[in-house]
Chains A and B, each alone.
Chain A
Amino acid sequence: IVLTQSPGTLSLSPGERAPLSCRASQSVSDSFLAWYQQKPGQAPRLLIYDASNRAAGIPDRFSGSGSGTDFTLTISRLEPEDSAVYYCQQYRSPPYTFGQGTRLEIK
């Protein structure tokens, strides 16, 4: 399953809302889709799993939605610390695949 993320780069101001898209080449059944945040020099950090469930310790500013082939990560009330690259990943069927990432810049 090929995952395509858009946009490639997003530049927004603090307090704004960021919608990040992940489109799958075929249906991700059971919504086995996750979102990760990665900052420079760090491992990815799990934000959302099963398309819409927040991982432990993740603020409610982060929310996931979607099903089938179209998924969205929405980050509300952007903060400077949200500057990072965000990846989606499907774990429904091997080979488990990741999107190419969306870079979020906070102005």
Chain B
Amino acid sequence: QVQLEESGPGLVKPSETLSLTCTVSGYSISSGYYWGWIRQTPGKGLEWIGSIYHSGSAYYNPTLESRVTISVDTPKNQFFLRLSSVTAADTAVYYCARVLSRSGPWVYWGHGTLVNVSS
């Protein structure tokens, strides 16, 4: 079955760039569907960060768009999140996920990875 796993540093310093990788198994990203990143904080709850298609076409939450880049590496079956100029407000559990169809909903999720922004 489709499985996703997030990986990356658990601690990032303020003003630096958060970088996460989502490795997909059980399905080839190049076969289709949108893939995305969602984060969760106690204060703001669940927040959609952005989505990417296997072609590399991506779109983002306007509240984060100036700092976010999502990219894909189809041969490695991975996609990536980069969030620049982070602050403590970016401390969250970050999930990668795949949609069921069209633009959503999110049917396959990774386990999530906690990223702390702290000096």
A residues lining the B interface (CB < 8 Å): 32, 34, 36, 42-46, 49, 55, 87, 89, 91-92, 94-101
Contacts and interface: CB of A to CB of B under 8 A. Distances in A.
Contact of A98 (B46, B107, B109, B111): B46
A92 B103 CA distance: 8
A100 B104 contact: no
Contacts of A99: 45
B110 A43 contact: yes
Q: How large is the interface on B (under 10, 10 to 19, 20 to 34, 35 or more residues)?
A: 20 to 34
Given A55-B100, A95-B63, A46 B106 contact: yes
A88 to B, nearest CB: 10
Nearest to A35: B105
Contacts of A89: 46, 104-106
Interface string B83-119: 0000000000001010110111111011110000000
B35 to A, nearest CB: 13
Contact of A100 (B45, B62, B100): B45
Contacts of A45: 109
Contact of B45 (A43, A46, A101): A101
Contact of B100 (A46, A87, A95): A46
Nearest to A30: B102
A46 B46 contact: no
Contacts of B106: 34, 36, 44, 46, 89
B103 A91 contact: yes
B46 A94 contact: no
